[in-house]
Amino acid sequence: MRDILITLLVFASLPFILQRPVFGGLMWVWISVMNPHTQGWGFATTFPFAYIIAIATLISLLKSREKNTFPLTPVSVALLLFVIWMNLTTPFAMYPNSAWIQYTKVMKIMLMTFVLMMVIRNQEDVRRLIWVLVISLGFYGVKGGIFTIRSGGTDRVWGPYGTFIGDNNALALALIMTIPLMYFLMQGLPKRWMRNAMLVSMALSALAALGSYSRGGLLAIVAMLLFMWLKSRHKMVGAALLVLLVPLALMFMPEQWSERMDTIANYEADQSAMGRLNAWQMAINLARARFSGGGFAVYEPLTFALYAPDPNAIHAAHSIYFAALAEHGFIGLVLYLMLGLLTWRSTKWIVRNSRGHKELQWAGSLAAMIQASLIGFAVGGAFLSLLYWDVPYYLLAAVIATRAEVQAHLAALTPEARRQRHRPLHARAKLEPAQNPPGGAGFK
As a three-state string, the secondary structure of the chain is CHHHHHHHHHHHHHHHHHHCHHHHHHHHHHHHHHCHHHHCCCHHHCCCHHHHHHHHHHHHHHHCCCCCCCCCCHHHHHHHHHHHHHHHHHHHCCCHHHHHHHHHHHHHHHHHHHHHHHHCCCHHHHHHHHHHHHHHHHHHHHHHHHHHHHHCCCCCCCCCCCCCCCCHHHHHHHHHHHHHHHHHHHHCCCCHHHHHHHHHHHHHHHHHHHHCCCHHHHHHHHHHHHHHHHHECCHHHHHHHHHHHHHHHHHHCCHHHHHHHHCCCCHHHCHHHHHHHHHHHHHHHHHHHCCCCCCCCCCCHHHHHHHCCCCCCCCCCCCHHHHHHHHHHHHHHHHHHHHHHHHHHHHHHHHHHHCCCHHHHHHHHHHHHHHHHHHHHHHHHHHCCCCCCHHHHHHHHHHHHHHHHHHHHHHCCCHHHHHHHCCCHHHHHHHCCCCCCCCECCEC
171 class by beta-carbon count within 10 Å (0-12 exposed, 13-18 middle, 19+ buried): buried
Per-residue pLDDT of the chain (444 residues; tens, 9 = 90+): 778 888 899 899 999 999 999 999 999 999 999 988 777 777 877 788 889 999 999 999 999 888 888 999 999 999 999 999 999 999 999 999 999 999 999 999 999 999 999 999 999 999 999 999 999 999 999 999 999 888 887 888 888 888 888 888 889 899 999 999 999 999 899 999 999 999 999 989 988 888 887 777 778 878 887 877 777 665 555 555 555 555 656 555 666 655 566 565 554 445 667 778 889 999 999 999 999 999 999 999 999 999 999 888 888 888 999 999 999 999 999 999 999 999 999 999 999 999 888 889 999 999 999 999 999 999 989 888 899 999 999 999 999 999 999 999 888 876 666 566 555 555 554 544 444 444 444 455
Q: What is the pLDDT of residue 430?
A: 53
Q: What is the pLDDT of residue 444?
A: 52
The answer to whether the Cα torsion of 47, 158, 340, 87 is positive or negative is: negative
Q: What is the pLDDT of residue 441?
A: 44
